[in-house]
Structure 1
């Protein structure tokens, strides 16, 4: 293949590649595909109550503040300060369950669970989101020879589940369109 033919082949290839990228973007935009946008809320202030000292509640407070909401807690606001909605954390617990053992009774596999139950009420005590349970589970292998590294891995998985719960709660709060 001479240089002119090679140059023509490469230019046609670029044109085809550009056309296919343009066609793919047209198809994706036509089907309604769009990147997730920052959430918008029907309220500006939220009171967070119940289990305020837990890791999920702290991360949730920070996540809501990062999205432009004013978050009131028992530590940050006077009890008579009004909030448009009240987010009540009913349950925030972590579980570590043995799901696999050897014949000698040694632990080989664990299941890590994070359970988070919350509700959202308006200022008029109307339920905006009824009691909602979020349950996340992760499986982890276990060996006695690597206890420290497995503890570190367990902590990372719990942090990951915690961040996932915060994102789910923020999305559910953003789904509330009217008070």
Structure 2
């Protein structure tokens, strides 16, 4: 009985030592804490002022390391050109009575990244997100709220994908 206890205590101690050493090494995935090290110091975003996506991207860039988001393209080291930003909703499936049962929501952004001399750092890039949503005509208001939340979730996901692509850019 005592050998069983001592073996259990030894295993538990070994597991604790292993976990402590892993947590103390400081390993962390790049961008896991919401911070990204951008390869440029300033950026101009060509989103319209009313764009929710542009506002969220500005906020994430300003909250990061040392990147300045400037209002004048001439003062920026890097230019983020929005070529198109579209949201879509299409029928995904119908029920036996021919009424809509599911919709497919899409959010697509096409952009490119240039330096202040006009050289392309990132060619035209398309990021497209899709989510399906069930529909019930007896719960129209609730489904509209769910649709808004799904678009907001896609917008946050889109910003994170943009940030990861910006970090991977190699300046000339």
Question: 1:149 Cα deviation (Å)?
Answer: 1.0
Q: CA RMSD in A?
A: 2.8
Secondary structure at 1:35 match in 2: coil
The one of the two structures with greater contact order (alpha-carbon pairs below 8 A, sep at least 6) is: 1
Question: 1:24 Cα deviation (Å)?
Answer: 6.9
Moved over 3 A (4+): 20-28
Distance 1:116 1:161, change over 3 A: same
Gaps of 5+ in 2: none
CA deviations on 1:16-36 (whole Å, 9 max, x unpaired) are 1342455578799xxxx7433
Secondary structure at 1:171 match in 2: helix
Gaps of 5+ in 1: none
- Whole-angstrom distance in 2 between the partners of 1:159 and 1:90: 21
Number of aligned residues:
167
Aligned match of 2:14 in 19, 23, 36?
19
Question: 1:175 Cα deviation (Å)?
Answer: 1.1
- Whole-angstrom distance in 1 between the partners of 2:153 and 2:93: 23
- Whole-angstrom distance in 1 between the partners of 2:46 and 2:116: 14
Please, what TM-score do these two structures have when normalized by structure 1? 0.81
Bigger radius of gyration: 1
How is 1:47-58 mapped onto 2 (pairs within 5 angstroms)?
Answer: 47-58=44-55
Aligned match of 1:113 in 90, 106, 122?
106
Please, what TM-score do these two structures have when normalized by structure 2? 0.84
- Whole-angstrom distance in 1 between the partners of 2:7 and 2:150: 49
